[in-house]
Amino acid sequence: MQITIERIPDNELKPLYQDPSQLGFGKIFTDYMFTMYYQKGKGWVEPKIGKYRPINIDPAAVVLHYSQEIFEGLKAYAAEDGRILLFRPEENAKRMYESAERLCMAPFPIDYFLESVTALVNLEKRWIPRAPGTALYIRPSLIGTGDALGVHPASEYLFFIILTPVGAYFKEGFKPISLYVEDYYIRAAVGGVGNAKTGGNYAASLLAAAKAQEKGFSQVLWLDAREKRFIEEVGAMNIFFVFGKKLVTPDLSGSILPGITRKSVIELARSLGYTVEERPISIEEVFDGIKDGSLTESFGSGTAAVISPVGSLNFKGENHLINDFKVGPVTEELYTRLVNLQYGKTEDPFGWVKEIGRL
């Protein structure tokens, strides 16, 4: 792929953030973005890096009416020795390909995904923050464009990547969060698109999340659509429960997003001697475990927060504390080991970390 780069004059570049420890999440965007178009009969054409700008699409674009839209999220990390690192980017590329197939979209080729991310991040490397816990968040997206109404797949697509330097996803940082167990609204159902990373899943979660936050909770813990008993996801993360040396996480039944951090936690935990079970887990089993002391910790996992300890669950007005609202040793060990891998601080025995350039 031959990428065209339209350079921005130095005097038109945006000023860098002043305090990387105060970045927040997704509030600042870099100078450049990557774009590439799909046209029926031609395939993927016009790979280009140019100035970050509004996207011009027709009011009849399929994405606006029938929600053909998917996205990904990954990070570029600054290692202490100056390397620029990505964490398992090929997994993001594969998941985006699979999400596109589920939504009947033209999949973006995996090699193009990796090449475009690498090129854009290297061009924008001055934006990669170096403060602890910070990174450059990468948001690849694919939308259906075209200009004809009617419930059918688009004939044209736009793939684009934008970048944003970020700090901690939760304002609490690496501290326990409180979850509201939603027993009415659902996130997704088996046979739907819950296992695809598409915006509609997140739109469907906003009302419940807003109500939870009004009540003082950080996120929503979702239950299954059929019985509303079995745990699925927490907010934008997968969920784990720790029973001593055993980790239990809901299995990928078709309504749960196959998280890359989730996959990494499972593989890392098993390499450390933990037992990991991927299976249905009911809310009753969780509460029974809290009550008898067998459930010792819980945490969410995802690209944005990496690992977020869970300190309490609120269900039907009753609050259930986990580990006295403290970070547990298993959660802390997995978090520390994962973060050290991502920032290149420790040897990578898994081959997960990819060096794509130098600062």
Q: Hey, where are the domains in the chain? A: 4-166, 177-342
Domain 4-166 has CATH 3.40.50.1000: no
What's the predicted TM-score (pTM) here?
A: 0.96
Residue 83 has pLDDT above 70, yes or no: yes
Sign of the four-CA dihedral 181, 182, 187, 191? positive
- The per-residue pLDDT for range 142-153, each reduced to its tens digit, is 999 987 899 999
Torsion of CA 103, 104, 109, 113, to 10 degrees: -30
Once rounded to an integer, what is the mean pLDDT over residues 21-25? 85
- The per-residue pLDDT for range 47-58, each reduced to its tens digit, is 999 999 999 999
List the structure tokens of 287.
């509460």
- The per-residue pLDDT for range 153-199, each reduced to its tens digit, is 999 999 999 999 998 777 667 899 999 999 999 999 999 999 999 99
Q: What is the pLDDT of residue 171?
A: 65
Same fold, 4-166 and 177-342: no
Once rounded to an integer, what is the mean pLDDT over residues 18-29? 88
Domain 177-342 has CATH 3.20.20.140: no
**Distance from C-alpha of 280 to C-alpha of 222, rounded to nearest angstrom:** 13
Residue 220 and residue 182 in contact, taking contact as beta carbons nearer than 8 Å:
yes
Q: What are phi and psi of 213, to 5 degrees?
A: -70, -35
Once rounded to an integer, what is the mean pLDDT over residues 102-109? 98
3-class SS string, 68-136: CEEECCEEEEECCCCEEEEECHHHHHHHHHHHHHHCCCCCCCHHHHHHHHHHHHHHCHHHCCCCCCCEE
End-to-end CA distance of the chain: 24
